């Protein structure tokens, strides 16, 4: 029986186990030009026992930033900063993919330099607010991308992917979930276009497919993953009938030979759909399963029964840098502190103790 602690081949690279660190925004890119810091290096190196680390969302362009102090991969300065991270992870035997995240309409002009404004497939404002340096502010109506600007945005992803490889990453994951730009093209309430980028199921998947294809052409398909979250209402997304568009998407991805498909389940009702995608997509499936709390030990059976090839753990990995070892023994686990999830210093970032350290501290 295959377990989550067995090695797995990921598009030609052997991972030590089937436990992935899910991408998690931390808003601590305090280095020059939104680049990683010494603390970022330590944070990821501490978690190198994961079979696969997927970084926090990294913007592929200046206009792709939607939150304060999130990192980029569109400058030489940022690329050099990430090289320090990948070197540290590799020195501890880890594998690390950069998640490229363009937030699209999810953002605010106050987070962008000069006259830049958030952009999207259509000029549809998200309901809700965003945190800025000036506090919480309402989302604004994004500028609709022209056809030429859509093509430029695709190339921005490809250029950032090339920077990721220059920075030493083993590959990249494109963030097509959680209501960000790629997801906005997929969803019918955010994509009202009638040109080649919207309208039909095939046209609404075109941006995702063309971006994956461009990135695969730039760095090789075996270095590319895509994350999706069908029916996820986060960031004011409405997908009442996602089956057709996501099946169209997966069928278009299948011949490209990408490294993996990463599915984030937002609700329990999505599981049958996940199983359907599992049959459609013959490559590696990474699953971030639905859970009432942080994904934990109970989810390991999803590898054993073949539902997924790898399992992605979020908050529990944030709080437990040695999570694979803790999962093997069913804990104990450090408790994640939501007050330190975004921004701040080393507290709730690099100061969660590993199991051996925690045991010594308890004994004292």
What token pair was written down for 364? Answer: 């004292």
Nearest Cα to 53, choosing from 63, 61, 65, 45? 45
Task: Sort strands 135-138 and 129-132 into parallel, antiparallel or unpaired.
Answer: antiparallel
Report in angstroms the alpha-carbon separations of 286 from 37, 116, 143: 29, 35, 33
C-alpha dihedral, 307 to 205 to 10 to 2, nearest 10° = 0
Crossing angle (nearest 10°) for helices 147-166 and 76-91 = 40
Task: Sort strands 260-264 and 8-10 into parallel, antiparallel or unpaired.
Answer: unpaired
Q: Are the CB atoms for 95 and 7 separated by under 8 Å?
A: no
Alpha-carbon distance of 183 to 129, in angstroms, equals 19
Nearest Cα to 9, choosing from 225, 245, 283? 283
Q: Which residue has the tokens 């599992």?
A: 278
Task: Sort strands 96-100 and 171-176 into parallel, antiparallel or unpaired.
Answer: parallel
- 27 exposure class (CB count in 10 Å sphere: 0-12, 13-18, 19+): middle
What token pair was written down for 99? Answer: 């998640």
43 is catalytic: no
Alpha-carbon distance of 311 to 245, in angstroms, equals 24
Partnered with residue 15 across adjacent β-strands are: 8
Q: Are the CB atoms for 227 and 249 separated by under 8 Å?
A: no
- 205 exposure class (CB count in 10 Å sphere: 0-12, 13-18, 19+): buried
Report in angstroms the alpha-carbon separations of 181 from 73, 105, 156, 258, 334: 17, 7, 13, 20, 34
Partnered with residue 263 across adjacent β-strands are: 228, 287
The active-site residue out of 67, 180, 260, 349 is 180
**Residues tagged active-site:** 180
């Amino acid at each position: 029986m295959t377990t989550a602690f067995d090695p797995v081949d990921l598009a030609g690279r052997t991972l030590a186990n089937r436990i992935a660190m899910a991408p998690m925004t931390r808003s601590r890119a305090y280095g020059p030009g939104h680049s990683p810091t010494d603390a970022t290096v330590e944070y990821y190196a501490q978690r190198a026992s994961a079979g696969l680390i997927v970084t926090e969302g990294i913007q592929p362009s200046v206009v792709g930033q939607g939150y304060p102090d999130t990192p980029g991969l569109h400058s030489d300065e940022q690329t050099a900063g990430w090289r320090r991270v990948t070197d540290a992870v590799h020195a501890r035997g880890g594998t690390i993919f950069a998640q490229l995240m363009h937030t699209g309409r999810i953002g605010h002009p106050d987070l962008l330099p000069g006259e830049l404004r958030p952009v999207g497939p259509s000029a549809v404002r998200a309901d809700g607010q965003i945190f800025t340096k000036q506090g919480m502010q309402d989302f604004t109506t994004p500028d609709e991308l022209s056809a030429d600007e859509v093509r430029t945005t695709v190339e921005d992803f490809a250029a950032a992917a090339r920077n990721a490889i220059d920075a030493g990453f083993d590959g990249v994951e494109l963030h097509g979930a959680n209501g960000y730009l790629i997801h906005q093209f997929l969803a019918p309430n955010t994509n009202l276009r009638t040109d080649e980028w919207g309208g039909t199921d095939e046209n609404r998947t075109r941006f995702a497919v063309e971006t994956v294809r461009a990135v695969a052409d730039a760095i090789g398909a075996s270095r590319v993953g895509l994350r999706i979250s069908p029916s996820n209402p986060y960031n004011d997304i409405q997908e009442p009938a996602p089956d057709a568009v996501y099946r169209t998407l997966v069928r278009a991805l299948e011949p490209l030979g990408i490294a993996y498909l990463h599915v984030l389940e937002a609700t329990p009702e999505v599981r049958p759909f996940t199983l359907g995608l599992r049959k459609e997509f013959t490559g590696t499936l990474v699953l971030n399963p639905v859970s009432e709390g942080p994904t934990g030990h109970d989810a390991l059976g999803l590898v054993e029964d073949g539902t997924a090839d790898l399992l992605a753990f979020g908050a529990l990995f944030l709080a437990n840098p040695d999570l694979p070892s803790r999962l093997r023994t069913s804990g104990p686990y450090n408790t994640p502190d939501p007050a330190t999830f975004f921004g701040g210093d080393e507290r709730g970032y690099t100061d969660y103790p590993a199991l051996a350290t925690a045991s010594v501290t308890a004994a004292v």
